[in-house]
Structure 1
């Protein structure tokens, strides 16, 4: 399967290289040296050096732009509705959303120093400051200080942890007087259950579409649907599995309230 996947990459790169130009490409800075130029509907840049150098960048581009991990007919927001992107990484999902919903304001939460710096750069080089708003904060059940360690956060100070601000979406929405929300997307490495608890009022008020991974913690697949069911709102859901067959996968719950 790895061979077939690599062949797919190669064929897609050739198809993209045959195009003289890409109309209005996205620009994605995946490290502090090089920028990729991407057609939102095809994840492969004309210059494929980054793809060969970084396994993570391959997975990032394929999942977001080619497999359309966070897109499912009937479970998408309307253009113009506010989007909340929790765990925005370097801005790939926010730029993907902006390509499909150009009139929507997108609030992006990212607490990693490295990713946040690239996120800001990607917003700037695409000239999306009027629609994409970056917040260097974690998202959780309540407003508090947390300590960031690699990919994870803790609520107690540690020698290796870096202090970060954590906000609940309920408090953030009130503070910024957001009047409509069409989508809440999360990918926050096991903090989804706490973040959903901190977004309860927002979900009940706006009934946004939800896109939530349910594999980071062992009980996510049970506890996250249970929490949403207990809100008492009629809803419909789907699950979407995206898998590159060599250990990099996502399992996302899509929810719409009826």
Structure 2
């Protein structure tokens, strides 16, 4: 530690993380060496002044395709929250295979007859549709026929990604409540009239279904603010599944800007009943790196856990879980 950040990095690590809990997670929760190493690397990346130094990505061989995303880009664009979002035809993305998979799959096998189209950014297209940040290798991913909770649907990019994977027999419940995001979400759905398996839920996810919240920030970084006198009423996954008589949940993805643990607490019954695969973002809070794995391990001991990180920056750290086979 002294070599790569000295006393400052060590003090930040001790101040922000419970070292005994970190050790327990590495030794008793994470299921493979890659996950253990990258989990610690991502945490060191937060506390060290040498950002990116600790991250060795499994996906290095794929980043060379980053610029090739522009093959799918048109000149048409819209402005969202002061950012330019270009129209992409995802059927034009390059054909890429996971090179060291036992069963190599084409991770950009999109239908040219019914192409997915989306207003989005080059980075977002690459992370979601090529790197597939909500899949862990070939072990954990949304599959044909799955019912998916897309918590934090933002512009609809992940909803379209999951829609493609689950197919006609699957369903995607896309949760988004920020007005500016919903405007772009609806534009992107209108580009894809053949998509029939996405259902929008305009409620913020939380531990209960009675808290009134507002929000601050824009785009994917919009955060929920509690204790608002006027705003939007939250909903829990458990209440949603019960009230809407959802017959099963196979996959839960949460990227909800720091509300992940609260939303997981509101999904306890659903997780225990259906034992869904999970992809939960951890990078919004230091405590989430520790408390979310511990909470889920206690909630469902049958889970196997994996961790991945998709950039050399601080963002895109995801905890994956599936029931042992």
> 1:199-252 CA deviation, whole Å, 9 max, x = no partner?
000000000000001121111011001111111431111111100x4x463000
Taking only aligned residues, the RMSD between alpha carbons, in angstroms, comes to 2.9
Q: How far off is 1:35 after superposition?
A: 2.7
Instruction: Name the structure with the higher strand share.
Output: 1
Deviation at 1:6, TM superposition (A): 9.8
1:46 maps to none
Q: 1:67 to 1:248 in 2, by over 3 A?
A: farther
Between the aligned partners of 1:182 and 1:94, the Cα distance in structure 2 is 15
In 2: Cα distance, 1:61 partner to 1:242 partner? 13
Q: Which consecutive unaligned segments of at least 5 residues does structure 2 have?
A: 1-51, 53-61, 95-107, 109-118
Q: Which residue of 2 aligns with 1:237?
A: 305
- Contact 1:210/1:254 (<8 A) preserved: yes
Partner residue of 1:196 out of 252, 257, 264: 264
Give SS of 1:174's match. helix
Aligned to 1:78: 143
Q: TM-score, normalised by structure 2?
A: 0.63
Distance (Å, rounded) in 1 between the aligned partners of 2:92 and 2:145: 19
Equivalent in the alignment of 1:120: 186
Task: Select the structure of larger CA radius of gyration.
Answer: 2
Aligned to 2:161: 96
Give CA-to-partner distance per residue, 1:110-152, whole Å, 9 cap, x none. Answer: 1211111211221222115520011111000001211111221
Q: 1:16-95 maps to which residues of 2 (within 5 A)?
A: 31=79, 35-39=87-91, 42=94, 57-72=121-136, 73-95=138-160
- What secondary structure, in the 3-state scheme, does the structure 2 residue paired with 1:219 have? helix
- Give the Cα separation in 1 of the matches to 2:77 and 2:306: 32
Q: Tell me by how many angstroms 1:7 deviates.
A: 7.4
Evaluate the alpha carbon distance shift between residue 29 and residue 209 of structure 1 in structure 2; reply closer, same or farther with a 3 A threshold.
Answer: farther
CA distance in 2, matches of 1:94, 1:108: 6
Q: Distance in 1 between matches of 2:161 and 2:243?
A: 26
Q: Is the contact between residue 142 and residue 165 of structure 2 (CA under 8 Å) also seen in structure 1?
A: no
Q: Which moved more, 1:59-68 or 1:208-217?
A: 59-68
Q: Which segment is superposed worse, 189-198 or 57-66?
A: 57-66
Measured at CA, do residues 10 and 105 of structure 1 come closer, stay the same or move farther in structure 2, by a change above 3 Å?
Answer: closer
Tell whether the 8 Å contact from 1:119 to 1:134 is kept in structure 2 after alignment.
no
User: May I ask how many residue pairs the two structures share in their alignment?
Assistant: 228
Name 1:255's counterpart in structure 2. 321
Counterpart in 2 of 1:148? 215
TM-score of the superposed pair, with normalisation by structure 1: 0.79
- C-alpha contact (below 8 Å) 1:29/1:121 kept by paired residues: no
User: Which stretches of structure 1, 4 residues or more, deviate above 3 A after TM superposition?
Assistant: 5-14, 28-34, 40-43
